[in-house]
Amino acid sequence: MKVVVGLGNPGKRYDGTRHNVGFAVIDGLASGPRAGRFQSRFQAQVCELVEDAGKILLVKPETFMNLSGRCVRQVMDFYQLIVADLLVVCDDINLPLGKLRVRVRGTHGGHNGLRDIQVHLGTTEYARLRLGVDAPREGAIDHVLGRFNPAERAVIDDAVVLASQAVLVWASRGVEACMNQYNGPKDQKQD
């Protein structure tokens, strides 16, 4: 089994915000015919997606962004998974709007959700897929908790679809193949 954790904040108040693009990717993957229904487990909403490569557990933590690590640790422990079976999807203010970046490991880069996951897993050796939400003009908190304007919405919607495809490549062919295919220009398409 592979686990994909999309980071975001629960509740209607945060729907459609920059910080919730991880949730948007999970929702996109869960909308297909091979996905089950969301259930409450591990302080999260989870559902199984069955692909040719096997089962993928889709996870949306309900602990709020800054406490995402608790949920991730519970899932990893329950299924006795190694970090190579984990992909975390999140927003990144250091990337241009819509740009994807896949990494095998790395620091949290100031992202509080990644910081908490790093603390709970005790390592930075887990894959992450970051979606660019652009740099803030003023305060970072207001920026990531803000919604996309209409011109940005089309770009981010396309990026969410591309990120969903990247997740499936990661699950079936591995992180290196995913990096090679999706770390290029933001208009790069799946083969």
DSSP-based three-state secondary structure for 81: coil
- Give the C-alpha separation, 125 to 123, whole Å: 5
* AA letter at 136: P
Q: Extract the tokens encoding 94.
A: 């250091």
Q: Extract the tokens encoding 171.
A: 């699950």
* AA letter at 41: R
**Catalytic residue ranges:** 19
- Partner residues linked to 50 by β-bridges: 55
Neighbours of 81 (CB within 10 A): 15
Length of the chain: 191
